[in-house]
Amino acid sequence: MDKNNKQTKGRQRIDTSKRRESEEDRLITFSKRRSGLYKKGSELCTLCGTQLAILIFSPSGKPFSFAHPNIEVIARRVLETNTRSDDQDYNGVMDACRRHSIGELNEQLTLISNEVEYEKERGTKLAQATKARQNRPLCEQKIDELSDYDAQKLKAWLLELQARINNRLDELNAAQATHPSAVGTIGGNASSSSYGYGGIHFKNFH
């Protein structure tokens, strides 16, 4: 090899504001960067003591997830599903969330997120075993494979939520006459406080 001729071209710049055209490149990049993202997330957790959940759907629609904490939660769920007996621990997780001043709905969201992840995985596992479920929509798999315990719990929450929403709807109906619909501009108001990477926007809520 010529000394001036580097052994490889090394890392090349790519335009991160464009989708990779090649199917193969996209797959490779997805794999590499997903790992990178998980690692970053993991480090954020350990360095700052945060809790984190990442959900990714690949170009082909495959779901991937990363979360901290969750080994315990997922493990507990597996145990629960297998033996189903401990409300204690289950509620303990919820209480822990509450104590962290995460709002109730958010807590439920996290809970559901876990459901989804767990059931999704279990669905896949079962699918591998039976192959029969493979073509069913993901959402059905998830719901249809909820444990009795989780289904009851989820149902209870949904009922409660629904009641509150119905109240809200009643409220809105009652106030409908006095509710004018005004319209404002986005750009003018949002520009000073919102920004994005590559045209995608995000928010922090303080």
Partner DNA sequence: GAAACTATCTTTAGAGT
Partner DNA sequence: TACTCTAAAGATAGTTT
Q: Which of residues 39-78 bind its own copies (CB under 8 A)?
A: 39-71, 74-75, 78
CB of 99 to DNA, least distance (A): 19
State in angstroms the smallest separation of the CB of 97 from its own copies.
Answer: 2
- Counting other chains too, the contacts that 1-6 makes at CB distance below 8 Å and 24 or more residues apart are none
How does strand 200-201 pair with strand 196-197? Answer: antiparallel
Dihedral (CA of 57, 29, 32, 198) sign = negative
CA distance 58 to 85: 36
Instruction: Select 6 or 19, whichever has its Cβ closest to its own copies.
Output: 19
59 by Cβ neighbours in 10 Å (0-12 / 13-18 / 19+) ranks as exposed
Size of interface with DNA, in residues (CB under 7 A)? 23
Query: Least separation, in Å, of the C-beta of 169 and DNA?
Result: 39
Question: How near is the Cβ of 133 to DNA at its closest, in Å?
Answer: 23
Which among 145, 151, 148 has a CA at the least distance from the CA of 133? 145
Note whether 99 and 79 are within 8 A (CB). Answer: no
Q: Of these, 3, 9, 12, 202, which contacts its own copies (CB under 8 A)?
A: 202
Query: Site map for DNA, 19-38, x if CB under 7 A?
Result: -----xx-xxx--xx-xxx-
Q: Which of 83, 130, 135, 178 binds its own copies (CB under 8 A)?
A: 83
**Residue ranges that bind DNA, judged by CB under 7 A:** 6-14, 16, 24-25, 27-29, 32-33, 35-37, 39-40, 43
